[in-house]
A and B are shown apart, each in its own frame.
Chain A
């Protein structure tokens, strides 16, 4: 094993520098590469468009600031579509570090763009400890599991909570998640039990884990990471931060691919040189 920061005589900080340049340059000067919408993202869009206008929707934003660049853009785009359809949206968060980021995202769209009223058109119920237990408890009533909203106001008195009581009164569950608890737990604890129509947006790394649920029809659509968010922006006709970030992600992916190939070529040439050297020995 090599010393800190070095391997095979190569200082890995050079790699870090290249990654930094490849990410920064397209953010400053976008390459405007063409984006194609994949079937899971199209299905996510179709599922949201299929719910009747004015329906009740539960959006569980289970992430924290670490996943902000990947998940906030898709949260905002989803909220824009839902509010355009005059849906009443109840937002929850099962990650203790997340409600602050989620609150800003929800308010920037609901109040900043659509001028909606908190408690009537949307509600952010904030964080509740307990992971899956909270999901199960919400089956007995959302106000039961969240007696107060994010800002400490009683939820039972809110007009929106008169119509959004439990899973029976929602037309769709949108799970935007960065890990545990998240989409997998919502599928297992809520979708499987209450047969709620459900879509998911998640970090790119966790997307493969949810493909089985997509194939089984338990998830009607899936947005994987920033690429999924950008595809959703494209299909809804909006250009947001995810679309702008895709060029940077493209170059970073290509660089990782180059690293894999370069690492192998380097090893192969060394092995050949070593074998040649060994043959040359008397």
Chain B
């Protein structure tokens, strides 16, 4: 290997131009130790063509300059950010540079190991293979068809863990405001202040639907969505199930609850039991009313449409997270002549429910249902807190539009997170 001196680096080291017939640096540490250098380069490189010696038709490119290595901000100390100025030969369309190879060492004099690469035109790369707190030195090798050139080394730099991600200040501010709004309204509700909640016809219709099933002597079918418990819509659907079970217990009408996932299944069993208990009729609880069916979307649809056509429930209540099955369920339900109430926050499924069901809860109405049904002050407080937060969001959206129109980007930048 032959290297020619090009420029002095910050530690008295030299940037190097590598003659066309040579390959990239000697192996160093870690996984690269036993590999031939060009294999390492090829394995890590963004270029598919390995950086081997090329016929000497063009001179080696100029090196990258002004190298900087700093701890990547706002992370857990898992990476170091290396930035550089492009090689003077890295011009659009020139193709004198194929890639920049990032080399690392624990000493300013080497040995150097290729740790990552960036495509031509890139001026920054994070080295995510560092150990937290350890000092490293870096250099960048500009490589092209004519050979390669190493920049001067820079360092030492060490990765450190931060205690606060400063780019998330805006989220924290909104979260704190939201907490304060909710706590304020909860306290005022508990102090006896009457909180107005508008009428939601879809929720009022649930009792009507159960009453009708009772008149017809047929069961009520309740679907708490098709998602697992990690979807908050499923929790909302299961919370309403308790109120529905209470009503069915009072009316002595059976309720059928087919469930997709095992954990919502266990929760649904508890909810139905609780409903019967709170209605004062625990003995009427049927352990087969809640059924685990299948997490498979269409297997579940097949099972539920089977229940609809065979057991012919007179009321269908769909409250939770729904996808492509929404219309399959609602149309089959319509064909059986059942009264249908649906609610979901999955916006793209709302049109199907609106068309095929008698009543539909739209978006956040689903989350408001438990507060609406129970009228418990704490729950109503959280509902009002969310309303006030919505006003705050609208105000920020309007302010953002105005500032952006005036060419002021401060608010937008503050809202950007990483």
**Using a CB–CB distance below 8 Å, which chain B residues touch chain A?**
31, 43-49, 79, 116, 119-120, 126, 128-129, 227-228, 230-231, 295-298, 309, 321, 323-324, 334-338, 346-349, 417-418
Contacts and interface: CB of A to CB of B under 8 A. Distances in A.
B345 to A, nearest CB: 11
A86 B79 CA distance: 28
Nearest to A193: B418
B320 to A, nearest CB: 12
Given A4-B335, A180-B227, A66 B298 contact: yes
B321 A162 contact: no
A213 B349 CA distance: 18
Nearest to B301: A66
Given A163-B43, A180-B227, A52 B324 contact: no
Given A163-B43, A180-B323, 5 more contacts: A3-B337, A52-B46, A66-B298, A166-B128, A205-B348
B402 to A, nearest CB: 18
In which size bucket is the chain A interface?
Answer: 35 or more
Nearest to A87: B48
A96 B324 contact: no
Interface of A: 1-5, 12, 52-56, 64, 66, 86, 96-97, 131-132, 159, 162-163, 165-166, 168-169, 171, 178-180, 192-195, 203, 205-206, 208-209
Q: Which 10 A-B pairs have the closest CB atoms?
A: A54-B48, A86-B48, A1-B337, A52-B119, A179-B323, A209-B348, A168-B128, A4-B335, A54-B47, A163-B44
B44 A162 contact: yes
Residue with the highest number of chain A CB atoms closer than 10 Å, among B120, B297, B298: B297
Nearest to A192: B417
B309 A4 contact: yes
Contacts of B309: 4
B296 A97 contact: yes
B231 A55 contact: no
Given A96-B295, A132-B230, A208-B348, A165 B129 contact: yes
Contacts of B79: 168
B75 to A, nearest CB: 10
A163 B334 CA distance: 54
A4 B47 CA distance: 62
Given A162-B31, A180-B231, A209-B348, A4 B46 contact: no
Given A4-B309, A209-B347, A66 B295 contact: no
Nearest to B309: A4
Contacts of A56: 46
Nearest to B126: A168
Contacts of B297: 64, 66
Contacts of A53: 47-48
Nearest to B45: A54
24 contacts: A5-B335, A53-B47, A53-B48, A54-B46, A54-B47, A55-B119, A64-B296, A64-B297, A66-B324, A97-B296, A131-B230, A132-B230, A162-B31, A163-B43, A165-B128, A166-B128, A171-B46, A178-B324, A179-B323, A179-B324, A193-B418, A203-B324, A205-B349, A208-B347
